[in-house]
Amino acid sequence: MKILNCAIFIAAIACAGCTSCETGTQSAQCAAAPARASAADAATGLDKRLEGTFWTPTFLKDQGNAKCPAASDDGWGPVFIAFGADGKVNGMSGVNFFGGSCKISGDGAAKFSQMISTRRMGPFIDYEGKFLSALSQTDRMSLSGGELVFFKGTDAIVKFRQIENPKKK
């Protein structure tokens, strides 16, 4: 059963993707993403600033026609990622809940590992595959001006804005 779960999760993250959940398009601001993590990220410790925070995507590269669930989509809730003080992450990826570990160094280098996911099917499975794929490709993060950005090399692949804990609603 574990092998089947892993195979399904790997298949779900095998897709690549992103544009905005809210608009479905890439804005000029998204296209002008910073190429490197700021000196402030290295000085203050990006991971410490993320502890206990919740983020929802505003941009997913190559999202295409994959629909991101809106708050009005009954039973699905917002897509989000939460960062724990223990280096753990969890969230909702569109249809399923996910969790795992995230190691972030002082210079913003990042690596997600030991990722797991529930196995529901639903109308947002295409978006979920692209979102989880972006997490698996992330090699660096930057937090500046209230925007969290995940990068693969110099390309911004997911952008987030901070939100209140969606699990309390």
Residue that has been written with the tokens 């099917």 in this structure: 121
Contact between 61 and 129 under an 8 Å Cβ cutoff? The reply is no
4 burial class (0-12, 13-18, 19+ CB within 10 angstroms)? Answer: exposed
pLDDT score, position 14 = 36
What gap in Å lies between CA 13 and CA 7, rounded to an integer?
A: 10
Give me the residues of the chain with pLDDT under 50, please.
1-44
User: How confident is the model over 37-73, as pLDDT tens digits?
Assistant: 344 333 335 678 899 999 999 999 999 999 998 766 7
Q: Determine the Cα angle at 21 with ends 48 and 158, to 5°.
A: 40
pLDDT score, position 45 = 57
pLDDT score, position 166 = 87
pLDDT score, position 154 = 96
pLDDT score, position 169 = 58
β partners of residue 158: 60, 150
Q: What is the DSSP letter of 17?
A: -
114: number of Cβ within 10 Å: 10
What gap in Å lies between CA 141 and CA 55, rounded to an integer?
A: 13
User: What is the torsion angle, in degrees rounded to the nearest 10, for the CA atoms of residue 13, residue 19, residue 24 and residue 25?
Assistant: -160
